[in-house]
Structure 1
Amino acid sequence: MNLEEQIYLRKSCRKYLDDEIDMDSIHKFLSSVKPLNDDINYYYKILTRDEVNLRTRWSAPYYLALFSEKKENYLTNIGFVFQQVSLYLQSVGIGSCWVGLASLKEKSSEFVIVISFGRSENMTRDISDFKRKQLSEISDFADERLTPARLAPSAVNSQPWYFKHSDDEFDVYQVKQNFVKRQFLKKWNPIDVGIALAHMYVANEKTFEFYRKSDFEEIKGYTYIGSIKI
């Protein structure tokens, strides 16, 4: 199982087979996944399509419903944790997709988002098929080390992450969307940044560190999320 390889192959799946899946390995992986913030409590439930309200034209046999206490950085933490899970699913032949347009039939104040998943016949793509910003657009200068973040999925492909070099670290920012986009993406973009950071962690598992600084640079049009060492 090599999660880093999946970064360069993964695609969001929206067509699934109805095959049953043994959930034991998924639960086992989730028991050892790395959080971005250790002090944020989160949990998940595995649901069927009958337990989810969908506003999509497609559906999946299973949904990973994600829950969290509402603390600073909780959405970014959710993206960080469960993109690792998405990469794991890909590595064992299970397709997945983050689904923002869904809610639960059993209401919960801690519900955040769901990930659809299931067996799929069309799960991978060539790296040339990724429609992404150039490295020079997501950082103060092009740096190949940021390729894993560049390939991360995001809501309506908004790609809201920005990295600024600072000595031997990167300061991580989120793009401030315009008023119209902000109404739709304000909840999802922090998750997207967490997804990009998950890719950076998976590609640099032994050396990755995340922390927040008090002396970060304010950049017009961006919100500081934290800093990483890789």
Structure 2
Amino acid sequence: MDLASQIYERKSCRNYLDEEIDLDIIKDFISKCRPLNENINYYYEILTKDEVSVRTPWSAPYYLALYSEEKENYFENIGFVFQQVSLFLQSIGIGSCWVGMASPKKKKSNFVILIAFGKSEKMTRDRSSFKRKDLSKISDYEDERLVPAQLAPSAINSQPWFFKHSKDGFDVYQKKQNILKRQVFKNWNPIDMGIALAHLYVENEETFDFEIKNDFEELKGHTYTGSIKI
């Protein structure tokens, strides 16, 4: 199973076929996903479209409802784990899309976000069609190793990540949004950070490591997320 190749052609799907899919293979993959932080408990439910309140002009036949205990980096952890799932779904011919404007009809505590998924006829795209910031804009200097993060999806394509080279990897920062955008992106952008880190993990599975330093450098206009080795 080559998840890394999915990074370069993945597309957030908003058109789905109303067909049943094998959910057991998805559950099995989720059980094997690596978390960003092993000390954070999280769980998920698979819901149908009838069990979800959706505020988008489209819907999907299935949704992953994601839940987590509230600890440091728990949004990032959700993004990290379930972007692995999104890439897996793509690899077996199932489209998906992170959905911030939806929630389960039956309210439960610790709900974080939904992922829509289902069979779709339009799941891939050419690398040239990605609208992303240049590598020089997401790091202190251009580094091709960051392309997987560069291509990560984010809320309204906000691309909040910034990478600063360190002695043994990168210090990772999230861009601070203005006051108005902060109200929209306050939960979504930390998830986006986890999604970008998932792409770097999938591309560097044997060497990837994440830690939170005490001696990180403050970066104006950004908040520190953690540090990685790839």
Provide the TM-score with structure 2 as the length reference: 0.99
**Matched residue, 2:205:** 205
Using the alignment, how far apart are the partners of 1:109 and 1:131 within structure 2? 35
Using the alignment, how far apart are the partners of 1:32 and 1:109 within structure 2? 24
Using the alignment, how far apart are the partners of 1:103 and 1:51 within structure 2? 9
Using the alignment, how far apart are the partners of 2:31 and 2:152 within structure 1? 23
Write out the 4+ residue segments of structure 1 that deviate beyond 3 Å after TM superposition. none
Using the alignment, how far apart are the partners of 2:21 and 2:133 within structure 1? 35
**Matched residue, 1:102:** 102
1:140 maps to 2:140: yes
Using the alignment, how far apart are the partners of 1:166 and 1:34 within structure 2? 24
Letter in 2 for 1:42: Y
**Matched residue, 1:190:** 190
Using the alignment, how far apart are the partners of 2:178 and 2:72 within structure 1? 22
**Matched residue, 1:74:** 74
1:219 maps to 2:224: no
Identity %: 72
1:109 Cα offset (Å): 1.5
Letter in 1 for 2:124: T
3-state secondary structure, aligned to 1:87: helix
1:108 Cα offset (Å): 1.0
What's the CA shift string for 1:9-65, capped at 9, x where partnerless? 100000000110011110110110000000000000000001100000000000000
Aligned pairs (5 A) from 1:168-183 = 168-183=168-183
1:90 Cα offset (Å): 0.1
3-state secondary structure, aligned to 2:156: helix
**Matched residue, 2:159:** 159
**Length, aligned pairs only:** 230
1:84 Cα offset (Å): 0.1
Q: CA RMSD in A?
A: 0.4
Using the alignment, how far apart are the partners of 1:51 and 1:19 within structure 2? 17
Using the alignment, how far apart are the partners of 1:54 and 1:24 within structure 2? 25
1:7 maps to 2:4: no
**Structure 1: where are the runs of 5+ without partners?**
none
1:36 maps to 2:36: yes
**Matched residue, 2:92:** 92
3-state secondary structure, aligned to 2:182: helix
1:70 Cα offset (Å): 0.7
Using the alignment, how far apart are the partners of 2:23 and 2:219 within structure 1? 44
1:167 Cα offset (Å): 1.1
3-state secondary structure, aligned to 1:164: strand
Using the alignment, how far apart are the partners of 1:49 and 1:19 within structure 2? 12
1:107 Cα offset (Å): 0.4
Using the alignment, how far apart are the partners of 2:207 and 2:120 within structure 1? 33
